[in-house]
Structure 1
Amino acid sequence: MKRILSGVVAVLLSGTAAIAADIYQPPVEPIVEQPVEVIQTSGWYLRGDVGYAWNNLRGANFYQGGPGGSIAEFATAEIDDSWVAGVGVGYQFNNYLRTDVTLDYWGGGDFAGSTFGGCGSVVGPCVSSDVSSVSAWSLMANAYVDIGTYGAFTPYVGAGVGATHVKWDKLRNTSCSVSNPGACDPTTEHEGESKWRFTYALMAGTAIDLTCNLKADVGYRFRQVDDGNMFGYANGGGPGYDEGFYIHEARAGLRYSFGNVCEVPYEPPPEPIVYK
């Protein structure tokens, strides 16, 4: 009997060991998070932009008969579309708020206008052809709200206030007979005027990450420039005044930041190769 019991116990023990060997699992390696390398710099950035401007002259008027005469409006008054270019320096306070100061040049807006009235040496009603051009420098202080970052894109909205130095070229005025367009008075030149004017701006766009510190900036800007002097008195006409500008701009540029926090995966140095 003892021999039988010893044999049964030996069989059971050997089966238990086999089962344990079958269900054995190696220990699970702990999950180690991949470290990142953080590059911390200041919050300053530089920017440069170029764009296309759709210009709207809000109106223009002048004195007939000199400064003591009556005010008359141009029958037509338009300026062509033009281009803009600018630079700026700014500061990123956090992920949502930044400000900058920008200096922009707005150039090459050709003016074309006309008036109706009498001529000097030509009999009958006349129509004038008035041509000039306008350019400007704008100095603006701006603030932006970055709405959030979605992948490489960070949309934003902003607003700015500042001043624009508007410079008008000479206005050349030629009046010709309505019934006989070949009969014209000699061309009169009025000296152009220049003046600093209050300006405000509204912006919207998106920044696109190119590298950790370099972003492309694509957006829209609206500017309203106040009214001011346009041209002086000459030959019985003037001075003249414009009623200000609405400027719609499509802009693209680059922003180089000295202040981004860049996170890149840490890569340990390669293991040395050992030749055996």
Structure 2
Amino acid sequence: MGQFFKRLSMAVVAVACATSAFAADLPEPVIEHVPQIPAVGGWYLRGDIGYKVYGDPSGSFRDGVIGDLRYVRESMDDAVNIGVGVGYRFNEYFRSDLTVDYETPSSAKGYAFCGLCTGNLSTEGADIDVWTVMFNGYVDLGTWYNITPYVGAGIGASYVRASNAYSINPGSTGTVNYSGTNGEWNLAWALMAGAAYDINPNWTIDAGYQYRNLGMAKTVRHTGVGTGGTRAKWDDLVAHEVRLGLRYNFGGAPVYYAPQAISSNF
């Protein structure tokens, strides 16, 4: 019996030594880390402020007696606009939003032929302000150092109001004021480009440029000018905008892959 236990002990020691030698030859275990990727998809809110530079509009007034009388040397003052919106990011490349903008009144001015006026020209003007509702789509072009350039386009409707319209006829009927405000709904569209900077997963600064076409403005009718039923019209209301905005991204926390099992390479 003693001989048996002696042989069994020797066998156990031999197995233990062999196992230790085999374990020493194994490579170090490789632990799979859980990677972190930026969040994609989800709703966001935005607020914007901008400076709008108008192109020269086409001014005229239409009268039942003389028809259309075109203005010359038209111009339109710059304006400030503010806006809010809600949007959705579909993936890391595509997003869209619905925005509502208001711009402060801008003074439009032009000159019209007036045979009885000193200098043969009258001065025509009005204040124009605009509300715009627009659906926009964007393509994000990739992100480098938290900066994402983009391009986009929008389409919607603009409500253009003309107020404080006047006609100054030097040497003739003097100054004539159009009493009241008139609003017109127009098709509106925009092209845009810019870049966004991610402050953190929830907050993004957006700086961009927009080209906007807002349609036209019409004043109220005025029957006291002497030609009957005059209505001034300002066509081709287009503007270049520089905008600065802030977006809040819901669910902006990082997204994690599912943990992977620990593995070893033999």
Tell me the equivalent position of 1:43: 42
| Pick aligned residue for 2:95 from 90, 95, 98 | 98
| Pick aligned residue for 2:221 from 232, 237, 247 | 232
Cα distance in 2 for residues equivalent to 1:27 and 1:153: 46
Tell me the equivalent position of 2:249: 257
Evaluate the alpha carbon distance shift between residue 236 and residue 165 of structure 1 in structure 2; reply closer, same or farther with a 3 A threshold.
same
Tell me the equivalent position of 2:84: 87
> SS of 2:173's equivalent?
coil
> SS of 1:68's equivalent?
coil
> SS of 1:151's equivalent?
coil
Radius of gyration: which is bigger?
Answer: 1
Tell me the equivalent position of 2:107: 110
Deviations 1:114-135 (A, max 9, x none): 222123xx6x653222232110
Tell me the equivalent position of 1:223: 212
Tell me the equivalent position of 2:262: none
Equivalent residue letter for 2:55: N
Tell me the equivalent position of 1:69: 66
Task: Output the TM-score relative to the length of structure 2.
Answer: 0.77
Cα distance in 1 for residues equivalent to 2:185 and 2:209: 24
> SS of 2:174's equivalent?
coil
| Native 8 Å contact 2:46 2:248 kept in 1 | yes
Displacement of 1:155: 0.9
Tell me the equivalent position of 2:126: 132
Deviations 1:30-59 (A, max 9, x none): 454554578979611000000111111430
Displacement of 1:260: 3.4
CA RMSD of aligned residues (A): 2.6
Tell me the equivalent position of 2:162: 168
Evaluate the alpha carbon distance shift between residue 129 and residue 37 of structure 1 in structure 2; reply closer, same or farther with a 3 A threshold.
same
| Native 8 Å contact 1:41 1:259 kept in 2 | no
Equivalent residue letter for 1:201: A
Displacement of 1:104: 0.3
Task: Output the TM-score relative to the length of structure 1.
Answer: 0.75
Equivalent residue letter for 1:54: V
Tell me the equivalent position of 2:239: 247
| Native 8 Å contact 1:44 1:92 kept in 2 | yes
| Native 8 Å contact 1:104 1:137 kept in 2 | yes
| Native 8 Å contact 1:99 1:141 kept in 2 | yes
Tell me the equivalent position of 1:204: 193
Tell me the equivalent position of 1:141: 135
| Native 8 Å contact 1:57 1:243 kept in 2 | no
| Pick aligned residue for 1:190 from 178, 194, 200 | 178
Cα distance in 2 for residues equivalent to 1:155 and 1:38: 19
Displacement of 1:150: 1.3
Cα distance in 1 for residues equivalent to 2:140 and 2:61: 45
Deviations 1:138-194 (A, max 9, x none): 0001111111111201111111100000001121211114xxxxxx53310124421
| Native 8 Å contact 1:116 1:125 kept in 2 | no
Aligned pair count reads: 229
Cα distance in 1 for residues equivalent to 2:40 and 2:25: 46
Evaluate the alpha carbon distance shift between residue 158 and residue 41 of structure 1 in structure 2; reply closer, same or farther with a 3 A threshold.
closer
| Native 8 Å contact 2:95 2:137 kept in 1 | yes
Equivalent residue letter for 1:258: F
Evaluate the alpha carbon distance shift between residue 109 and residue 76 of structure 1 in structure 2; reply closer, same or farther with a 3 A threshold.
same
Does the alignment pair 1:152 with 2:146?
yes
Deviations 1:216-250 (A, max 9, x none): 00111111122342342232352121112111101
Equivalent residue letter for 1:83: V
Equivalent residue letter for 2:143: T
Equivalent residue letter for 1:186: G
